[in-house]
A = this chain, B = another copy of it.
Amino acid sequence: MSSSFDFAPLFPPGLPAPSARWTGLAKYSFVGGNNDSEQVPVDELIAAVDSALRREGRMLATYGLAHGPQGYLPLREFLTAKLKRDAGIACTVDDLLIVSGSLQALDLVNHTLLARGDTVIVEQETYQGSLNRLTRLGVNTVGIPLDDDGMRMDVLASTLADLRGRGIKPKYIYTIPTVQNPTGSIMPESRRAELLKLSAEYGVPVFEDDCYADLVWSGERPPAIYAMAPKGGVIHIGSFSKSIAPALRVGFIVAPWDVMSRMLALKTDAGSGALEQMVLAEYCKPHFSTHVPALTKVLRTKLDTLMEALNEQFGTSAEFEEPKGGIFLWVKLPDNVDTLKLYQAALAAGVSINPGPEWSTSKGHSGSRLRLCFASPTHQQIRDGVAVLAEVCRREFGVPARSANVEKAQA
């Protein structure tokens, strides 16, 4: 061998394209699920980890702290209380599986239920990480359009009937009902009941992703779909990424044992990180219920700043519904704007955005839409970043007109 070893001939078919090298975050970063760094409760987390390690640090010598594959027991105990209080879910620690972020939850649910060629139902606009996974698994996704109350039940009903007519039984109905990603809607209780009725009628389980459900402006949310289904048929997942800190990578799954036991057989990682489970359990028991409302209040002010900045800079060119919580705003630009192209041009100008087509099963509907995360940038970065974005958009697509803000102000 005279030159370097060449791995390329060994790669199997279907491998995704190689990743590019990391070049850091954009100056104005509106992407991903990053949160407000000022709201990380650093002192309390330090105290929590100190206390947990003093008491149980020696157990780090044992995989999973000897608490078994479902995760650190005190964290599961906190979650049973929290899920009961906030989401109306009555479950025990045996119904809970702690995972390495809700992305691992998606993987475990998918690998438990899906095979190549299967069909699942999703919301037409939905989480990119879920869509990408389904694509990689070779699963067909059918998108159901959303309105202000989330997934439209009339379309879901006709879609299920249509699929049945074609001999197709979807493997699940995936929904983010409580602060939908990216649209920010909350599905009302009555619609959740309709969804469960359809689920039971067609024998198709509901896969409920409640990742953002802690961050609701009003502080009130409907019961989880899981809580409304006494006969089961719902898998529920959640996360601490949005409520405490995304870098910690701790999520959870609530599921009946017949599914749980299958997921456990697929969770071959020797347990999720113990230290992060310990610190969360120790911190959350005394602090979660005060931390989250304080965080939500701060996020709400950032949303206001973003909406003001968009109104100022884009005027009527940027349309959006005010989300009911969360960290994202879903924005519609004029039809001639291609947000995939805008993404590239904006990035070159130091602004990163999530282009709509990556968050949707309908490239037509989403082509001129984009998702903006308002939690991570400061108020000033939001204002400055939106100004740069407007400038790039004007240069590339002719909108907004320079006088957009004036038009708006005079309207």
Instruction: Write the residues of chain A forming the contact surface with B, with a CB cutoff of 8 angstroms.
Output: 1, 3-13, 15-22, 24-25, 32-40, 42, 45-46, 49-50, 53-54, 57-66, 68-70, 94, 100-101, 103-104, 112-115, 118, 129, 132-133, 171-172, 200, 203, 205, 229, 231-233, 245-250, 256, 258-259, 261-262, 264-266, 268-276, 279, 375-376
Contacts and interface: CB of A to CB of B under 8 A. Distances in A.
Given A248-B274, A276-B276, A22 B60 contact: no
Contact of A35 (B21, B40, B61): B61
Given A54-B42, A69-B19, A246 B5 contact: no
Given A113-B10, A279-B275, A63 B33 contact: yes
Contact of A247 (B35, B37, B114, B271): B271
B233 A15 contact: no
B46 A58 contact: no
Contact of A266 (B16, B38, B256, B259): B16
Nearest to A266: B16
A258 B114 contact: no
B66 A42 contact: no
Contact of A12 (B11, B63, B68, B114): B114
29 contacts: A3-B231, A4-B256, A5-B231, A5-B233, A6-B258, A7-B113, A7-B256, A7-B258, A15-B266, A18-B265, A21-B94, A22-B69, A34-B62, A35-B62, A37-B59, A37-B61, A38-B58, A42-B54, A46-B49, A46-B57, A60-B247, A62-B376, A100-B100, A103-B268, A104-B269, A247-B271, A247-B275, A273-B273, A276-B276
A214 to B, nearest CB: 15
Contacts of A64: 247
A247 B33 CA distance: 27
A49 B53 CA distance: 10
Main secondary structure of the interface of A (DSSP, over half): loop
A54 B171 CA distance: 46
B57 A19 contact: no
Contacts of A262: 11, 15-16, 18-19
A329 to B, nearest CB: 18
A4 B62 contact: no
B232 A264 contact: no
Nearest to A4: B232
Nearest to A63: B246
* Copies per assembly: 2
A328 to B, nearest CB: 15
A373 to B, nearest CB: 11
Contact of A46 (B53, B62, B269): B53
A394 to B, nearest CB: 30
Contacts of A69: 19, 22
Contacts of A5: 200, 203, 205, 229, 231-233, 256
A37 to B, nearest CB: 4
Contact of A19 (B40, B46, B247, B261): B261
B49 A62 contact: no
Contact of A37 (B12, B16, B58, B232): B58
Contacts of A274: 247-249
B34 A58 contact: no
Nearest to A18: B261
